[in-house]
Every structure is written in C-alpha cells, then in structure tokens.
Homo-oligomer: A and B are copies of this chain.
C-alpha cells in the first residue's frame, strides 16, 4: 500500500521530524518526500509518499492515526492512496485534439485515473468515445438553456462519482453551479501563455501582436476567467510566416501536451493549491 500525504501548515521546527516519525511508527518507509516553505507567508507544504503494509496500518485507519500529528501542527491534510484512481469527466466542444489525446493516453495506460464520461455540446465525438469505451453524453446548449444544461452536467458528474473535471477545449464559460461543486478540481487548457491573451481567440490576438512564441496554459478554473492557479505552461516559437491557421495548428501540440501534463500532476497527487498559485511537486 502506497500512501501520499499532501500537507500544509504554518512553518515551525520539527515538522519534517514529526511526519517522518509517524511513518516510522506505523512501520512505513518514505519513498519520496518534497517540501516547500512560502517565504512571504511562512506556510510549510509537504508531499510525502510512503509504503506501508495494510496489516500494520489498515487503509481506513491512516487518517485517524495521523490526526494527532495533524492537529498538533494545525495541518491541512489531503490523504491519498496511489492505487486510488480518480474518476475523470472530460468536457469538449468541437475541437477534438485534446480529447483524442487524453483518451489515447488513457487507453495506453499512461494516466493513473479512470475516464468515466465524455460530455460535449456537440455530437461529433460520440464515435471516438465509444471506440475508447467511455460513455458519451451530448448536451447541447443555447444561451437560454445554459443554466439547465449546467445542471444536467452536474447531475451526470455526481451520478458518475467524478472527482476531476477536465475541460479539453470546452468553449463554454462555467457558471457557479459547477464551479462551487468542484473547487480546484476543474482543469482548463487555455491556448495562450497566460496572462497574455486572456479571453477569446488568443491565436488571433497573438498574430496581431506579432509575438515570436505562442503558448498554452493549463490551470484550475475559478470564477475569474483565465485567472485561476496555473498548473503547467509551455511555448513554441513562431515567426512572421505563420498565419492564424498555422498558429492554431502549432498550438494544438502545445495544448495536448500541457493539458496532459497538468492532468497527470493532479491524478498523481502532486498538486497543492495555495491562494492563486499551484505548487506542483516533481
């Protein structure tokens, strides 16, 4: 049994020792540990991954056994098991590349999670979802039916016991119904190196500005559009020769890779949201 503890608390001496002592006491062995102290707020963050046998430490007692350390240091604790596979819903609109890439990686065993549903406001991706063995839900939307459609989505997510929502080029702005249900558990891919080119048609904006590189940004979704905590970013060089369609084509490779990197970080329990930032452990 491999356990991951994602911890945060006010920094003070003895934290690393207390966590290590807990692991030793329950007969475990630390296989990875990474920590960080935010210099401005003196908040301590740690990700500890340790092996333990279920005999010495029954799975459903880990949290309880750690409670003493947690309360002593006023820790916020996220407890995960490496063999837990988060249940993912992927939302997509017309563009297929991010959806197709996530499904291909998942079929190939690259993503430590279960993709349990694909939802789209277009019917086009039904065959791809079916080929991948994932239920597909076509939920069209108009400005008039937006609130209702979002409710349908939320019900679907609840029914499928979804833990992570991935917006794979889903081109609708989410409302409070979904945002409040999945705090720091909705990942979006924006096709620019944020904070440059927020909002609509970033490749058109990039072409107009004459930048020499374009980018993609994966971030947790918050109520402030394109302002959520950034998980991953990357860029690729472009030149005056690149028309908007060229930028769109080059950008696709960025979007798929950056989104996949962010989803992997999340499902491998390597992310911790702190204010408007994301700590991504290695």
Which residues of A line the B interface, CB within 8 A?
11-17, 20-21, 23-24, 27-37, 39, 96-97, 100-101, 104, 108, 110, 127-128, 131, 193-197, 209-213, 215, 229-235, 239-241, 243, 249, 252-253, 257, 260, 276-280, 282
Contacts and interface: CB of A to CB of B under 8 A. Distances in A.
25 contacts: A13-B28, A13-B30, A15-B30, A17-B17, A17-B24, A32-B35, A96-B108, A97-B108, A100-B104, A101-B104, A127-B131, A193-B196, A193-B211, A194-B211, A195-B196, A195-B197, A195-B209, A210-B230, A212-B230, A212-B233, A213-B233, A239-B280, A240-B277, A240-B278, A240-B279
Contacts of A16: 16, 20, 23, 30, 33
List the 9 closest pairs (A to B, CB-CB), nearest first. Answer: A210-B277, A17-B20, A196-B196, A13-B29, A212-B233, A16-B20, A240-B279, A131-B131, A17-B24
Question: What's the number of copies of this chain in the assembled complex?
Answer: 4
A112 B230 CA distance: 32
B97 A241 contact: no
